[in-house]
């Protein structure tokens, strides 16, 4: 009779040496520490880095993931620790699944979040399938989020460090994917702990700065990228108030986002005005007072639900929701209008609700992530 083996740190009833784990390595300190910790525990580690765009053009650019310098850094860490490392060319996939939608969303007057689509459509779909083909037992990433086992299976929870929590960007992780994924850094209380682990392992990236920009948007200049992808996208138009009165001219709808106050070029007014709506068809930027930004009802679709009971098994759910990555969750009532759509009623109206942003669901007063969806209209 075989003896029962205790679960290893990744949740498998076998020795670490017999457990293969694919580590998604961006070249930064977080994923490098994950690889180092797992290799140090004796796991059969395989490192994989995705080449997502022309790294030749990005070679000298610091602070963006998956560029040439980062591929070099990931490979170097693997060499230092003695495990195999592969670079996969995902440029075409990344452009079709992420960059093209990013450009088209801006042209439609939305404010997209490409990092979510990258996790959803590239890292947690295509790369995860690669991990299975390599016969890995699981895939580990350097994301700051926690995976916990509950009565119904794996659950998604916010990171222990609220300042590093990445749950907003991972809401579309499905239950099937969550069963296969591991997030070894989610329990850490601060980034300094991560860097201390990097130093302990002698990693060359221990002091490497965090990336700040969207990887394919140098210096945060969205408009320049969109103009390059979609020539003619920056056609000028009118800035109008909420009654349609023309107040000025703008240099292209793609240069503006909901809630923007600076850079409108409208002077001589007693009260400040904010962008409250973008109308790409008429090439109009609609501005109004700050109170016009306040929204209480938020229509959401493409919902990924991570609750134990079916989403539309109730008339309503009392949850906390986050409508921007930079804001804390706030109380709301979520009313399903179908299996993957809902109307979210915010108990306290919020400013700057924008189509294209995510609305992420959380356990009210707790850490569990119940999924979320995409805001498609601002009421």
Instruction: State whether 161 and 303 are in the same domain.
Output: no
- Alpha carbon 32 to its chain centroid, in Å, reads 19
- Catalytic residue ranges: 118, 215
128 Cβ contact list (under 8 Å, min separation 6): 139, 177, 180, 181
Look at residues 354, 360, 374 and name the one whose alpha carbon lies nearest to residue 110. Answer: 354
Residues 27 and 152 in one domain: yes
Among candidate residues 194, 219, 244, the one where a domain is terminated: 219
Residue 375: the pLDDT is: 96
Say whether both 147 and 197 belong to one domain: yes
- Per DSSP bridges, beta strands 368-375 and 294-305 are antiparallel
Q: In terms of residue numbers, what domain contains 143?
A: 16-219
Structure-derived torsion over alpha carbons of residues 367, 174, 340, 354, reported in degrees to the nearest 10: 60
**The pLDDT of residue 55:** 43
Q: Pick from 177, 194, 219: which residue ends a domain? A: 219
Name the percent of the chain in helix, strand, coil, to the closest 5: 30, 30, 45
**How far, in Å, CA of 320 to CA of 155, rounded?**
17
Helix residue ranges per DSSP H, 42-190: 55-58, 68-81, 91-94, 100-107, 114-118, 128-133, 175-180
| 228 inside domain | no
Tell me the C-alpha distance between 179 and 57, whole Å: 37
Number of independent structural domains in the chain: 3
Q: Residues 278, 323: one domain?
A: no
Element (H, E) at 154: strand 153-158
Does residue 127 sit in the same domain as residue 215?
A: yes
pLDDT in tens, the chain (379 residues): 445 679 999 999 999 999 999 999 999 999 999 999 999 999 999 999 999 876 444 434 444 555 578 999 999 999 999 999 999 999 999 999 999 999 999 888 888 999 999 999 999 999 999 999 999 999 999 999 999 999 999 999 999 999 999 999 999 999 999 999 999 999 999 999 999 999 999 999 999 998 877 888 877 788 888 888 888 778 899 999 999 999 999 988 898 989 998 888 887 677 889 999 999 889 999 999 999 999 999 999 999 999 999 999 999 999 999 999 989 999 999 999 999 999 999 999 999 899 999 999 999 999 999 999 999 987 6
Token output for 72? 């070099």
Q: What is the pLDDT of residue 115?
A: 93
Asked whether the beta carbons of 110 and 91 are under 8 A apart, the reply is no
Q: Which two tokens stand for residue 202?
A: 């002698």
Nearest in space to 37 (alpha carbons), one of 203, 213, 168, 154: 203
Q: What pLDDT score was predicted for residue 3? A: 56
- Is the alpha carbon torsion for 78, 53, 146, 153 positive or negative? negative
Q: Tell me: do 86 and 207 sit in the same domain.
A: yes
Domain-embedded: residue 5: no
Domain membership of residue 7 (yes or no) is no
For residue 223, the model assigns a pLDDT of 85
Dihedrals φ, ψ of 316, to 5°?
Answer: -155, 155
Q: What is the model's pLDDT at position 56?
A: 45
| Contact of 369 with 172, CB cutoff 8 Å | no
Q: Give me the pLDDT at residue 270, please.
A: 74
Whether the Cβ atoms of residue 370 and residue 319 lie closer than 8 Å to each other:
yes
Q: Quote the pLDDT of residue 59.
A: 36
Assess contact for 64 and 191: CB atoms under 8 A. no
How many Cβ atoms sit within 10 Å of the Cβ of residue 206? 17
Question: Which residues 6+ apart lie within 8 Å of 215 measured at CB?
Answer: 52, 53, 64, 65, 66, 67
Q: Phi and psi (nearest 5°) for 192? A: -60, -30
357 is a domain residue: yes
166 & 138 share domain:
yes
What's the confidence (pLDDT) of residue 131? Answer: 97
Question: What is the structure's pLDDT at 276?
Answer: 93
pTM to 2 decimals? 0.92
- Which pLDDT value is given to residue 266? 83
Based on the fold, state whether residues 132 and 242 are members of the same structural domain.
Answer: no
Q: What is the CATH number of the domain that holds 272?
A: 2.30.30.280
Q: Are residues 238 and 107 in the same domain?
A: no
pLDDT at 234: 81
**Is the domain of 104 the same as that of 27?**
yes
Cα–Cα distance, 308 to 196 (Å, whole number): 37
Please check whether residues 192 and 53 belong to one and the same domain: yes
Residues 301 and 276 in one domain: no
Boundary-marking domain end, from 288, 303, 325: 288
């Amino acid at each position: 009779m075989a003896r029962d083996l205790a679960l290893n740190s990744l949740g498998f009833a076998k020795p670490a040496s017999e457990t293969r784990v694919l580590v998604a390595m961006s070249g930064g300190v977080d994923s490098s520490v994950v690889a180092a910790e797992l290799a140090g525990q004796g796991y059969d580690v395989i490192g994989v880095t995705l080449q997502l765009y022309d790294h030749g053009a990005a070679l000298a650019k610091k602070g963006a993931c998956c560029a040439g310098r980062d591929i070099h850094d990931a490979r170097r860490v693997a060499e230092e620790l003695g495990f195999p490392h592969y670079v996969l060319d995902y440029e075409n996939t990344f452009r079709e699944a992420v960059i093209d939608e990013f450009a088209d969303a801006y042209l439609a007057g939305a404010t997209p979040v490409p990092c979510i689509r990258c996790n959803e459509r590239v890292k947690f779909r295509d790369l995860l399938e690669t991990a299975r083909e390599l016969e890995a037992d699981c895939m580990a990433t350097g994301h700051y989020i926690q995976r916990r086992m509950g009565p119904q299976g794996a659950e998604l929870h916010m990171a222990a460090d609220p300042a590093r929590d990445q749950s907003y960007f991972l809401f579309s992780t499905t239950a099937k994917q969550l069963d296969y994924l591991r997030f070894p850094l989610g329990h850490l209380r601060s980034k300094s702990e991560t860097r201390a682990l990097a130093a302990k392992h002698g990693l060359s990236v221990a002091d490497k700065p965090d990336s700040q920009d969207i990887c394919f948007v140098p210096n945060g200049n969205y408009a320049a990228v969109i103009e390059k992808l979609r020539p003619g996208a920056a056609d000028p138009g009118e800035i109008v108030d909420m009654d349609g009165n023309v107040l000025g001219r703008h240099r292209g709808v793609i240069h503006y986002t909901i809630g923007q106050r600076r850079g409108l070029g409208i002077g001589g007014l007693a009260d400040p005005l904010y962008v409250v709506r973008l109308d790409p068809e008429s090439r109009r930027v609609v501005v109004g007072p700050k109170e016009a930004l306040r929204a209480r009802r938020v229509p959401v679709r493409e919902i990924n639900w991570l609750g134990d009971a079916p989403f539309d098994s109730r008339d309503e759910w009392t949850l906390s929701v986050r409508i921007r990555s930079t804001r804390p969750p706030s109380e709301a009532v979520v009313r399903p209008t179908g299996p993957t759509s809902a109307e979210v009623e915010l108990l306290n109206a919020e400013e700057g609700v924008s189509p294209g942003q995510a609305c992420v669901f959380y356990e009210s007063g707790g850490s569990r992530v119940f999924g979320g969806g995409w805001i498609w209209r601002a009421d």
